[in-house]
Amino acid sequence: MKFNTKTIHAGLEPDSATGAIMTPIYQTSTFVQESVGVNKGFEYARSHNPTRSALEANLAQLENGKFGACFGSGLAAIDCVLKMLSPGDEVISTSDLYGGSYRLFNTIFAKYGIKFHYTAMDDASKVKALINENTKLVWVETPTNPMLNIIDIEAIANVVKGSKAMLAVDNTFSTPYIQRPLELGADIVMHSVTKYLGGHSDVVMGALVTSDEKIAKEMYRIQNSSGAVCGPQDAFLVLRGVKTLHLRMQRHSENGEKVANWLTKNPAVDKVYYPGLPNHKNHAVAKKQMSAFSGMVSFTLKTDTTQAAHAVLSKCKLFALAESLGGVESLIGHPATMTHASIPADARRESGVVDSLIRLSVGVEDIEDLIADLDAALK
Ligand SMILES: *Cc1c(COP(=O)(O)O)cnc(C)c1O
C-alpha cells in the first residue's frame, strides 16, 4: 500500500461485530471473558482498547514501522521512552528542543540519575564526541522549534550505530507524510499527535512507533505499567483526522512555502526561516530527508523589539494568537514571550529567538486570505 492509501486503510478492518466501516468508539473499561484467561484479545482498557489499537496499527504503518503505541499526550510518549533507561544512563539531545521535552528531561528524569547532554547536532561529529559506554539514548528533533533548523537523521544514525544507544526522533513538525525517520536509521519515532496527525486542534495525544521487537516490548510494558494511555474517543478523532493527513500536509506545505516566499519580499521583514527556502542554511539536508517542508514558518522584523512583534500579532485577524500548531487553522505566536519565555534572555537570543521573532503555523485556508492578513498586520 502506498502512503495516501495507508492514511485511509492501514490497520483498519470493518468492525467484526457489526461491519461498521468506521472503527467504533469502544467506550468501555473492561471486556467480558468467556472463561478465566479466555478472551477476544481484550481484558482491560488500560492494556488494550480496540479503538486505540486500530489507531496504533495505523500510525505504525504510516511510519513504516511494526509497532505503535498511543499515549495521553506527546510528553507522556516521551516519558515512556525515558522510562526505558536506568540511573547512570546518559542521553544526548538536540539543544534547540521543544521546551516541554527539556523540562521533562531536566526537572523530572535528571532527578532519577539520568544525565543529559545538549548539542546543536548540526554536525554529527558533535554527537559522536559525546557518545560513551553509558549513552543509551540520542534524542533528535527536526525541524526544530521555533528556529526550524534541520538535523541530518541519517548522519546521526550512522554515528549512533555500533554504540549502545537508541536513536529517537521527534517527528511532530514533519509527520510521516514528509519524513520517515525509521527509514533513515532511527529506532523510535515520537509524535505529539496533538499537532498535525490530529490536525484539527481538538485532541491532546502522543504516539511512539518502532520496528524493534525488544524496544516494542518495553514500550508496551511501560505503557501498561505507567498507564498514560489515551481514551477511545480521542483515538477515534485522530483516526478521522489521519484520513486526510496527506491532503492537509500537501496544502500546509504549499501555503507554508508561499507565505515564506512572500515574507522574504516584505520590507518590514528581516530574516525568514523555512527549510524549503533555497537560502535556508540546511536546505540541502532538508531536501534529502523531507519530501515537502510543512507549514511552520518563523521570521524576524527589521524593528527587532517585542513591541513591534506584539503589534503584528494583535493586528492579525485570520492568524489566531495561540500556542500549539498543526491544525487546519492558521496560528501566530511570539516565542520570546510565549513558548520560550522561561529561557534566560541571553541564551534565548543566542539560539536565534530574538525579540521580534514570530512563529506561524500556516493553515489550509486560501493563500490569498492568509497573505492579505499578514500584509495588513505588517503595514
Ligand atoms: C507539542 C510538542 C510536544 C509535546 O506534545 P504534547 O502533545 O503537547 O504533550 C513535543 N514535541 C514537539 C515538537 C511539540 O511540538
One domain for residues 232 and 250: no
pLDDT confidence of residue 345 = 86
CB within 8 Å of 262: residues ≥ 6 apart: 371, 374
Output the CA 289–ligand 1 centroid distance in Å: 21
Output the CA 35–ligand 1 centroid distance in Å: 42
pLDDT confidence of residue 342 = 74
Largest CA distance in the chain: 73
Task: Please write down the HEC assignment for all residues of 137-204.
Answer: EEEEECCCCCCCCCCCHHHHHHHHCCCCCEEEEECCCCHHHHCCHHHHCCCEEEEECCCCCCCCCCCC
Output the CA 294–ligand 1 centroid distance in Å: 16
- Placement of cell 510521516 in the chain: 176
Strand pairing report for 331-333 and 67-71:
unpaired
One domain for residues 193 and 125: yes
One domain for residues 46 and 129: yes
Domain housing 68: 3-242
pLDDT confidence of residue 346 = 87
One domain for residues 67 and 190: yes
One domain for residues 48 and 196: yes
CATH code of the domain in which 257 resides? 3.90.1150.10
**Cβ pair 84, 218 in contact under 8 A:** yes
Output the CA 303–ligand 1 centroid distance in Å: 30
CB neighbour class for 148 (10 Å; exposed up to 12, middle 13-18, buried from 19): buried
The Cα–Cα gap between 263 and 374 comes to: 9
Query: What is the three-class DSSP state of 90?
Result: strand
Indicate the residue among 212, 227, 242 that finishes a domain: 242
One domain for residues 44 and 116: yes
Neighbours of 345 (CB within 10 A): 12
CATH code of the domain in which 217 resides? 3.40.640.10
pLDDT confidence of residue 339 = 83
Closest CA to 195 of 167, 224, 169, 174: 174
- Nearest ligand 1 atom to the CA of 324 is 1
Residue nearest to atom 1 of ligand 1 (CA): 192
Indicate the residue among 185, 208, 242 that finishes a domain: 242
Output the CA 206–ligand 1 centroid distance in Å: 8
- Nearest ligand 1 atom to the CA of 173 is 13
Number of domains in the chain: 2
227 φ/ψ sector (left φ>0, alpha ψ -120 to 50, else beta): left
One domain for residues 158 and 198: yes
One domain for residues 231 and 263: no
The Cα–Cα gap between 107 and 201 comes to: 28
- Write down the H helix ranges in the chain: 3-9, 50-62, 74-82, 99-103, 124-130, 153-160, 175-178, 213-226, 232-242, 245-264, 283-289, 306-315, 345-350, 367-378
pTM: 0.97
One domain for residues 237 and 283: no
One domain for residues 158 and 258: no
pLDDT confidence of residue 137 = 98
The Cα–Cα gap between 235 and 323 comes to: 22
pLDDT confidence of residue 341 = 81
One domain for residues 20 and 144: yes
Indicate the residue among 188, 215, 242 that finishes a domain: 242
Low-confidence ranges of the chain (pLDDT < 50): none
Q: Is 160 in the pocket of ligand 1 (CB under 6 A)?
A: no
Q: Is 74 in the pocket of ligand 1 (CB under 6 A)?
A: yes
One domain for residues 283 and 215: no
Q: Is 72 in the pocket of ligand 1 (CB under 6 A)?
A: no
Supply the residues annotated as catalytic. Answer: 46, 98, 170, 195
Q: Is 294 in the pocket of ligand 1 (CB under 6 A)?
A: no
Q: Is 141 in the pocket of ligand 1 (CB under 6 A)?
A: yes
- Nearest ligand 1 atom to the CA of 325 is 15
